[in-house]
Amino acid sequence: MSDKLKNIDETTKEIVTLPRKTLAELINETDASIYYTLKNSIYPGARDESIAMVIAACKARDYPVLSKCYHIVPMSVKNAQTGQNEWRDVIMPGIALYRIEADRSKTYIGLSEPVFGPMIKEKLGNKEIEYPEWCKIIASKTLANGDRADFPAIEYWKENYATKGKDAPMEPNAMWSKRPRAQLAKCTEAQALRRAFPDILGSNVTFEEMEDKHMIKDVYDSVPLIPMLGAPEETVTPEQVETLRGWIVDSQSDEVKLCNLYGVAELRQLSVTKYNKAIAQIKTKMAKAAKVAELAALAKEPVQDSTVDEFFAEADKVDTETGEVIQ
Same domain membership, residue 116 and residue 145: yes
pLDDT interval class at 319 (50, 70, 90): very low
The burial of 140, by beta-carbon neighbours within 10 Å (0-12 exposed, 13-18 middle, 19 or more buried), is given as middle
pLDDT band at 254 (very low <50, low <70, confident <90, very high): confident
How many alpha carbons fall within 13 Å on the CB side of residue 47?
A: 16
Residue 322, domain member (yes or no): no
Containing structural domain, residue 167: 95-204
3-class state of residue 62 by DSSP? coil
Pair (180, 105) in one structural domain: yes
Residue range 242-253: mean pLDDT, rounded: 88
pLDDT for 28: 72
**pLDDT at residue 318 in the model:** 44
**Can you give the pLDDT at residue 12?**
55
Q: Based on the domain organization, do 213 and 270 belong to the same domain?
A: no
Dihedral sign of CA atoms 75, 78, 79, 83 in order: positive
Contact predicate 6/16, CB 8 Å: yes
Q: What's residue 60's pLDDT?
A: 85
Question: Is there a single domain that holds both residue 270 and residue 281?
Answer: yes
Dist. CA 226–CA 114, nearest whole Å: 39
Residue 128: CB atoms within 10 A of its CB come to: 10
- In a domain, residue 292? The reply is yes
Q: Please check whether residue 28 lies inside any domain of the structure.
A: yes
Same domain, yes or no, for 174 and 257? no
* Mean pLDDT taken over the chain: 78
The pLDDT of residue 313 is above 60? no
Q: Determine the residue type at 243.
A: T
Q: What is the pLDDT of residues 136-194, one digit of tens each?
A: 999 999 999 999 999 999 999 999 998 887 777 789 988 899 999 999 999 999 999 99
Reduced to 3 states (helix: H, G, I; strand: E, B; else coil), residue 93 is strand
Q: What is the mean pLDDT of residues 87-114?
A: 92
Asked if pLDDT for residue 320 goes beyond 90, the answer is no
**CB-based burial of residue 155 (10 Å sphere; 0-12 exposed, 13-18 middle, 19+ buried)?**
buried
CB burial of residue 218 (10 Å; 0-12, 13-18, 19+):
middle
Helix, strand or coil for residue 153? Answer: strand
Q: What is the pLDDT of residue 129?
A: 92
Interior angle at CA 49, CA 241 and CA 219, nearest 5: 120
Same domain, 135 and 281: no
Full DSSP string of 246-310: HHHHHTT--HHHHHHHTT-SSGGG-BHHHHHHHHHHHHHHHHHHHHHHHHHHHHTSPPPHHHHHH
What value does the mean pLDDT take over residues 80-105? 85
Please tell me the total count of domains within the chain.
3
130 and 74 in one domain?
Answer: no
**272 in the same domain as 145:** no
Residue range 275-294: average pLDDT?
A: 84
Residue 135 shares a structural domain with residue 107 = yes
Task: Supply the pLDDT for residue 287.
Answer: 85
133 belongs to a structural domain: yes
Q: Could you tell me if 107 and 84 lie in one domain? A: no
pLDDT single digits (tens) 190-239: 999 999 999 988 877 888 887 765 444 444 433 343 443 444 567 788 88
Give the span between the Cα atoms of 132 and 119, in whole angstroms: 4
Alpha-helical runs (H) found in the chain:
23-28, 32-37, 48-61, 95-104, 157-160, 174-178, 180-196, 198-201, 207-210, 238-250, 255-261, 272-299, 305-311
**Top-confidence residue, 45 or 66:** 66
Q: Do 82 and 218 lie in a common domain?
A: yes
- Ramachandran area for residue 145 (φ above 0: left; ψ -120 to 50: alpha; else beta): alpha
| Model pLDDT, residue 145 | 94
Give percent of the chain above pLDDT 90: 28
Q: Is residue 327 part of a domain?
A: no
Q: Return the pLDDT at 95.
A: 92
Query: Does some domain include residue 5?
Result: yes
Task: Judge if 101 and 47 occupy the same domain.
Answer: no
Least confident of 17-21, 84-88, 237-241, 279-283: 17-21
Q: Is residue 323 part of a domain?
A: no
Cα–Cα distance, 267 to 254 (Å, whole number): 12
323: left (phi over 0), alpha (psi -120 to 50) or beta: left
Instruction: Kindly state whether residue 321 falls inside one of the protein's structural domains.
Output: no
